[in-house]
Amino acid sequence: MTKRLSSFAVPAALLLLISGAAGQVRLLDVPYVPTKFPVVDEMLSMAGVSKNDIVYDLGCGDGRIVIGAAQKYGARGIGIDLDPERILESEANASSAGVADRVRFYTGDLFEADIREATVVSLYLLTSINLRLRPRLLRELRPGSRVVSHNFAMENWKPDASSEVEVDGVRHDVFLWVIPANASGAWTWTMKIKGKTTTVRADLIQKYQYAKGTVKIGGTEAAIADAKIQGDLVRFRFEAAVAGSPAAFVFEGKLVGQSINGTIRSVVDGETRVWTWKAFRNPTTEKPIDEPPDAG
């Protein structure tokens, strides 16, 4: 049977005290435990890292994750660690690996790091720390950015993918989330149904990458089904009787700001059509898509 780590088995007393610039001491939030290389490989592969990515490792240890991303995929990377010794190690490791021009390391607190340019964020922290970071990840990273975490998940923010790697008889979990665009709120657009221009309104309630809601079309109200927001792509469908005919619609489009542009596939009276979809949101109806950590 494989063992699994659910927390770092390190007494609090072994967490280093780090001196700040003004002589203050700052306790590490998580002890230094490096991710084993086969797990690093799985994290980078699951995140689909490429040369176009900027990979941030929050609490970067010896820099192995951003160095791996630069070496194997040609990505650029930033590592941040509270412990200056780790930063010196990371810089030396980056030079030995020949990627010093593609990566940068900073001594600092991960909670204060500006992460907005990251396209991939790597975490090997604790669930409690992930939950503290979660609102910022959802609000500050661009839709389509990926968050990959070793062993620790995000409670009710379900991962988009997960996998297991066994190293020396110990099971390691890897979780991946894709930052969803915020598609919540009231959207309207027009469609021609049986030759008549009809205004459609969809009200979307979104939690993380999932949404539910209703659509009002020509006096009919229907529940939205299978709504999913993957990065900036919004997809949902509904079925209803429209102008007396059974109809099914699939909406798929790219969200930018307060509009969605894409296609509608409709089957009305057994006839299939593909339409252009251009929807607009009332900006005052947009709501946060995350929940407080203790909401369950």
Ligand X SMILES: C[S@@+](CC[C@H](N)C(=O)[O-])C[C@H]1O[C@@H](n2cnc3c(N)ncnc32)[C@H](O)[C@@H]1O
* Rounded least distance, CB 238 to ligand X, Å: 43
By C-beta, is 17 or 295 nearer to ligand X? 17
- Options 60-68, 157-165, 224-232, 253-261: segment touching ligand X (CB under 6 A): 60-68
Q: Is 286 in the site for ligand X (CB under 6 A)?
A: no
- Minimum separation from the CB atom of position 58 to ligand X (A): 6
Say whether residue 44 binds ligand X (CB under 6 A): no
Nearest residue to ligand X, scored by beta-carbon proximity: 59
The Cα 247–Cα 257 span in angstroms is 30
What one-character-per-residue DSSP string does the chain give?
--EE-SS----GGGSPEEE-TTS-EEE-SS---PPPHHHHHHHHHHTT--TT-EEEEES-TTSHHHHHHHHHH--EEEEEES-HHHHHHHHHHHHHTT-TTTEEEEES-GGG---TT-SEEEE-S-HHHHHHHHHHHHHHSPTT-EEEEES---TTS--SEEEEEEETTEEEEEEEEEPPP---EEEEEEEEETTEEEEEEEEEEEETTEEEEEEEETTEEEE-EEEEEETTEEEEEEEEEETTEEEEEEEEEEEETTEEEEEEEEEETTEEEEEEEEEEE-GGG-------GGG-
* 42 near ligand X (CB under 6 A): no
**130-159 binders of ligand X (CB under 6 A):** 150
Determine, following the binding rule CB under 6 A, whether residue 290 of this chain makes contact with ligand X: no
CB of 28 to ligand X, least distance (A): 4
Would you count residue 34 as binding ligand X (CB under 6 A)? yes
Tell whether residue 115 is a contact of ligand X (CB under 6 A): no
Binders of ligand X in range 71-110 (CB under 6 A) = 80-83, 86, 109-110
> 77 or 185: whose CB is closer to ligand X?
77
Which part of the chain contacts ligand X (CB under 6 A), choosing from 57-65, 91-99, 225-233, 288-296?
57-65
Q: Which is nearer to ligand X, 31 or 218 (CB)?
A: 31
Q: Name the one range near ligand X by CB under 6 A: 29-37, 132-140, 141-149, 233-241.
A: 29-37
Name the site residues for ligand X (rule: CB under 6 A). Answer: 28-30, 32-35, 57, 59-61, 64-65, 80-83, 86, 109-111, 124, 150
